[in-house]
Copies of this chain bind each other. A is one copy, B any other.
Amino acid sequence: MPRTKIKDIRKNEIIEAAIAEIGRTGSTDITVAKIADVAGVSSGLAHHYFGSKEQILISAMRRILTIFGADVRKGLARSQSPEQRLEAIVISCFSSQNFRPGITNAWLSFYVQAQYSKDTERLLHIYYHRLQSNLKSNLKPLVGTRAEEVAVALASLIDGLYIRLSFKGGNLSPDDATDIALGFLRQSLSATSA
């Protein structure tokens, strides 16, 4: 039997509209009416399917994380060595998938949202943890006890580059960001363990 499809299609449209709006305005300070409008449905329907504005935004975030996760996994699958895997992770962070206009803005907004929304915080925590352990396990065979520290540094650097990218005033390109992150990685791998 064909399961109810339209519901899923609509939910998807609403999520995409939410992401687009977050990207456009650069914040989660958005109305449900506007999201519904972009999705081409009534505000009533958006509430009907998601229950609340917060749930729409959380769904949007989950979507972004899913896309990101899939991208990373694809990169990892193609890699043989720890070095390659680390580079694949870094490259994924700045890949086009994760750079639809406004995605960086969305990330920023989510960081803020995580300050007061338990659900958002939980979601962000999962992301943090996954990235961290992914980096760490691949760093272990290369830098030993420094793995933890290098992983935190690399993850932070990536976050910081995202901020710089989302900032209109700066003139950093995704390619620049990738180069910087990869440069840091290589430098960390070749550094003598003091």
A residues within 8 Å of B by Cβ? 25-27, 29, 105, 108-109, 111-116, 121, 124-125, 128, 149, 152-153, 155-164, 166-170, 172, 176, 179-180, 183-184, 187-188, 191
A180:B115 contact, CB within 8 angstroms: no
Please give me the residue from chain B that is nearest to A149 by CB atom: B180
Task: Give the one of A157, A160, A164, A188 with max B CB within 10 A.
Answer: A160
Q: Shortest distance in angstroms between A180's beta carbon and chain B's nearest beta carbon?
A: 5
Q: Shortest distance in angstroms between A47's beta carbon and chain B's nearest beta carbon?
A: 20
| Of B112, B128, B184, B187, the contact of A112 (CB 8 Å cutoff) | B112
A180:B156 contact, CB within 8 angstroms: yes
Q: Which 4 A-B pairs have the closest CB atoms?
A: A26-B115, A160-B160, A156-B160, A159-B160
